[in-house]
A and B are shown apart, each in its own frame.
Chain A
């Protein structure tokens, strides 16, 4: 089925998310939609899928204009979507999720689970993987959940398949398997739209590439284009893909974590006997697929899991048993993984967010009263220093772009006297310009002789930023290796395969 989008325009208030976008996807082709976070790719696909109404433009399938009232219509017309955030009900079984919305019934409205199981099995068999139809989705690993999404789309006989940032949650090996599935679908004659911002993947599978920037199509590219060409097209200027840094000069500070075990309240061990040391002047990147204990590791470092076993020592001082307040006072800067839920108070102004961590005394609070003048002066200084693009310090921080929000978090955490910096996913959902800035600041912190721990799920970022890389898998350390370790070795490590000879294990 041939998909054509003509002049799609979607506005949210004053923001034009999609500005007259044209796109043609032929059957039997993988068409990559490449663009930065916030470029309008997902909005476009939500229009295609009937979730949003386009303000202008039309959708054509095999030359016929479609009018989708909702996702039901789009699906009926043969469009299937594998969503970035899986659209699966966690407490339902695989079969229930697959049948939901077009249930097979026996008798009046009575579910025919046997038929649904059979659908799951036969579709899975076609692609040579196995999914238990009776497993609850919440118990499945993310890679398998994604396959359930694919089965869901295929069981409705989709002819146009949209993959929205499908590799964000996958290991490199799982990504390869997904690519194979996409190629097989293509060979079956499906039209495939592959949305991503990862250049490597684009060049691997794309037949055609359309680049989107600020809601507009800015060009087409061949899969043979180089990374730099694609990146500059995507960002609109020349981009530096590597991080400039000197070899590390080890300082005196040191973070030593020994036999750290963190368990969730339900007893599941999420950080399992983790030991590592980070010297001053060194960046240790904790790599791994999302959800392998990195979040809990960083949270344990700043005292959010008071019950952990093992020890965390900063310059020889034991941090175990200290409250978060005392850990921060000891000189730990913490950039949390999700700035909107745990990094910032969205409704508070930039100035208020910048002093959120120092409201318990001088200089910003005296005799129980906020020192507004001092606060604003401090805020202006930080906004300048960290290049936060804003109309003023009184703007609610939630209205800033992702990159600028992250700079506010960074400004706050870096303005204390630091002895350790922990940054979890510092560049997630951040534009390329801000990524460059954030990387630069992190490297500067390291060069001041401060130990830095960065959690990243993006292999590119890990390799660019790290002095050493620690890979975690299911709560355990698979290995600690130098940053110049080959990517395929790192990929295998992310799937839990320990490297043959452990490089630098210290």
Chain B
């Protein structure tokens, strides 16, 4: 697939290592395959009628009328745009350049818009853009917190596959404590503590006893599902009123900003847990890359022996990282029971922890990128909700696969090289 081509041979010893361009056709091939699948879908299942996109909510400063556009026409125009971008990508690759980011971004946006127009065509109901985006933000909350938990843990050198169990433990504890105290704040704090304890168990087995990190993570996930389901049926179900009926965080609309069309209701009419999200993302990023704590944490995840030889306590640093990671994951878990709905249900996280793990990898172990990936996956998850409202022909199970498919492509290296911390999964011993 890659063939070296020599550019400009010189004689004598070179001053710098020479490089040849290795041409990778991965990106254009992927773009072409996706476009072909899209076109196939349009051809095999054409839909009649127009699509209705609603952009405004009644409380906005001003109203934007509902856009009515022809479904199939729009879909094919979008396909044409994507095809043009595919040509750009092919030309770029042929010249030995990488496909520019804007090409892939616009390509994805075009196909997404075309797909929405096709799916909503002929539906008498409006497709609410606010609902689509607002729901995406809400659904991405556990994903973003979960992926941050993953980033912190893995940057310190421990595979954190237990995000799912941290979310679930957080959700369960928040429900119980939130119900007992009638305070969502107490629920949130309790969720953080519970998830940190899950992190502690992970730390004890992987750091102190050096058990295979993936095995411990999987076992923890299964264990927490079992425990929460058991106590749910045994304790919560008979005592729903006292133990499983929380007070939720109220929405805190931000005056004026909330009335801006589209972005107002999406971004500025949320709960405190959602507002905290960008703050926590920034704090984790700043902490990892600008503080002593982060420098040491990353050193321990990259080259623990080097860290040890400059007097850093490797094991203690890793323990602390996993505790903090757990606490952050717990915030995501609390979302389920003190923000989203007001009670705990069996296995209510439904694999969000694994999507968070995918977001972390997709985000290349960088908090900001991981958070953006979490938003993207939240969007993908919400897409199927919205489409079922407008009566989309796509089975919801297919849409649910979307985040995982995106991740597969990401891990396969389509979005550039993804390099995990060098000491990931390796227990540290002094000998």
Contacts and interface: CB of A to CB of B under 8 A. Distances in A.
A267 B22 contact: yes
B2 A475 contact: no
A266 interface: yes
Interface in A201-219: none
Nearest to B310: A101
Most-contacted residue by chain A among B3, B20, B21, B422 (CB, 10 A): B20
A88 B307 CA distance: 8
Interface string B1-21: 011101001001110011111
A51 B295 contact: no
A89 B3 contact: no
A91 interface: yes
A70 interface: yes
15 contacts: A49-B309, A72-B311, A87-B310, A89-B298, A101-B312, A105-B292, A109-B291, A111-B290, A261-B20, A267-B21, A308-B4, A476-B13, A476-B14, A478-B13, A496-B13
Interface string B303-334: 10111111111000000000000000000000
Interface in B16-43: 17-22
B429 to A, nearest CB: 11
A300 to B, nearest CB: 12
B417 to A, nearest CB: 8
Nearest to A156: B310
Given A51-B430, A72-B311, A100-B312, A265 B302 contact: no
A361 interface: no
A52 interface: yes
Contact of A100 (B17, B18, B310): B310
A474 B308 contact: no
Given A71-B310, A266-B19, 7 more contacts: A87-B310, A89-B298, A92-B302, A100-B299, A100-B306, A263-B22, A307-B2
Given A75-B311, A109-B293, A110-B291, A87 B303 contact: yes
Given A90-B422, A110-B290, A473-B13, A51 B308 contact: yes
Contacts of A261: 4, 6, 20
A102 B296 CA distance: 10
A91 B309 CA distance: 17
Most-contacted residue by chain A among B21, B311, B430 (CB, 10 A): B311
Contacts of A498: 12-13
A307 B308 CA distance: 41
Contact of A265 (B2, B305, B310): B2
Interface in A89-104: 89-92, 96-97, 99-103
A83 B309 contact: yes
Contacts of A22: none
A474 B20 contact: no
Nearest to A110: B291
B226 to A, nearest CB: 36
A81 interface: yes
Contacts of B313: 70
A474 B17 contact: yes
Interface string B279-299: 000000000001111011011
Contacts of A392: none
Given A90-B422, A103-B295, A75 B17 contact: no
Contacts of B2: 265, 307
A83 B295 CA distance: 21
Interface string B257-291: 00000000000000000000000000000000011
A273 interface: yes
A299 interface: no
Nearest to B23: A267
Contact of B4 (A71, A96, A97, A269): A269
Contact of A72 (B19, B310, B430): B310
A457 to B, nearest CB: 18
A109 B19 CA distance: 41
Contact of A474 (B14, B307, B430): B14
Interface of B: 2-4, 6, 9, 12-14, 17-22, 290-293, 295-296, 298-299, 302-303, 305-313, 422, 430-431
A272 interface: yes
B308 A90 contact: no
B306 A497 contact: no
A76 interface: yes
A473 B422 CA distance: 28
Interface string A233-269: 0000000000000000000000000000111011111
A52 B431 contact: yes
B292 A111 contact: yes
Contact of B311 (A71, A272, A308): A71
Interface in A15-71: 49, 51-52, 70-71
Contacts of B298: 89, 92
A492 to B, nearest CB: 11
Contacts of A475: 14, 17-18
Most-contacted residue by chain A among B18, B299, B431 (CB, 10 A): B18
B14 A307 contact: no
Contacts of B21: 267
Nearest to B306: A87
Contacts of B312: 72, 100-101
Contacts of A71: 308-311
A262 B291 CA distance: 42
A376 interface: no
Nearest to B293: A109
Given A261-B4, A267-B4, A273-B9, A96 B295 contact: yes
B310 A267 contact: no
Given A101-B312, A110-B291, A268 B306 contact: no
Given A100-B312, A110-B291, A269-B18, A89 B13 contact: no
Nearest to B289: A111
Contacts of A87: 303, 305-306, 309-310
A76 B20 CA distance: 47
A309 interface: yes
Nearest to A477: B13
Nearest to B430: A51
A263 B310 contact: no
Most-contacted residue by chain A among B291, B293, B295, B310 (CB, 10 A): B310
Contact of A269 (B17, B306, B311, B431): B17
| A-B pairs, 5 with minimum CB distance | A72-B311, A101-B310, A496-B13, A263-B4, A87-B306
Contacts of B431: 52
A51 B309 contact: yes
Contacts of B20: 261, 263, 267, 269
A111 B292 CA distance: 6
